[in-house]
Amino acid sequence: MTSLSSTILALDEYAPLFAPPLVIAGIAALAFFMLGVVVHAYRDVANRHRNKTSNPMRGEGGHGAGH
């Protein structure tokens, strides 16, 4: 066997995973769930402050209101 053919055969081996594929999928699903929880929490904060940002030119300040 030449060195080229042994290199090609060595490249054909699969790299082992650190966990079974279902465990990796579960970890990914948990990560996306946690990101969804964070997004939902910030959505609640944005809804609480909606009345403060709905009309920035109401005379209390904002761009062009002066000092």
Q: Evaluate whether residue 62 is within a structural domain.
A: no
Output the pTM of the full model.
0.49
Cα separation, 3 vs 42, whole angstroms: 58
Q: Evaluate whether residue 63 is within a structural domain.
A: no
Q: Evaluate whether residue 28 is within a structural domain.
A: yes
Q: Evaluate whether residue 29 is within a structural domain.
A: yes
Report the number of distinct structural domains present in the chain: 1
Cα separation, 50 vs 52, whole angstroms: 5
Q: What is the pLDDT of residues 7-40, one digit of tens each?
A: 777 765 677 888 999 999 999 999 999 999 999 8
Q: Evaluate whether residue 1 is within a structural domain.
A: no
- CA atoms 44, 45, 46, 49: torsion sign: positive
Q: Evaluate whether residue 47 is within a structural domain.
A: yes
Query: 35: domain range?
Result: 19-51
Which pLDDT score is estimated for 64?
59
Go through the chain and tell me how many residues it has. Answer: 67
